[in-house]
Structure 1
């Protein structure tokens, strides 16, 4: 039986890492772990994983994090429609992707 997973966070949503001290914006979502298979990865791969553009002191950095280590950040407003249009693109089927990556 195939398990159906629903992502808790969407593209453009601001999240914070539960153990680390950073916030970021969700830029991609995978239904389950899609990282390297030949490297040690997380124990629980059957959950959504997110690429998050994190905001650091000097610049941003990209992380790949499991849903269970992220949480909604109520202190930061979501991206405005103008910012979303700047960072993301949408195809005719309504699928959204970062502008720097093709929609798959």
Structure 2
């Protein structure tokens, strides 16, 4: 088996954000709270190819699962790191999933609910 060296451009980047962080999309008008992180792209090829090529993100970067909201609705979003910025609004996220997974906020970051141990 031949192992090809990975160039710096191909190497996955480290996650900038973590679970509980409030972020906003760099281009589209929505914000959300992160509830899961994939170190690299972990969705379907069909989903990735549905993004117009001119704005399609690289796969070798963290992707974040968000409880997202805009002015019209609440939904779950899957967003590449290159398309997220820290949210400076400070307002809470009203998505119903937030209260199910998080207990509240401390210093602007949502805190995970304590897990019930069996």
TM-score by length of 1: 0.68
- Answer yes or no: is the 8 Å Cα contact 2:29–2:70 preserved in 1: no
- Answer yes or no: is the 8 Å Cα contact 1:22–1:55 preserved in 2: yes
Mapped partners of 1:47, 1:60: distance in 2 = 25
Task: Report how far residue 90 of structure 1 moved.
Answer: 5.5
The answer for the alignment partner of 2:105 in structure 1 is 80
Q: CA RMSD in A?
A: 2.9
Structure 2 counterpart SS, 1:62: strand
Residue correspondence of structure 1 range 26-41 to structure 2 within 5 A: 26-39=34-47, 40=49
How many matched pairs?
A: 89
Task: Report how far residue 60 of structure 1 moved.
Answer: 1.5
Q: Any unmatched runs of 5+ in structure 1?
A: 93-104
Which string of whole-angstrom CA distances, capped at 9 and with x for unpartnered residues, describes residues 6-47 of structure 1?
Answer: 210010100000110011000110000000135526451000
Distance 1:57 1:75, change over 3 A: closer
- Structure with a larger share of its residues in helix: 2
The answer for the alignment partner of 1:53 in structure 2 is 67
Larger Rg: 2
Q: Any unmatched runs of 5+ in structure 2?
A: 93-103
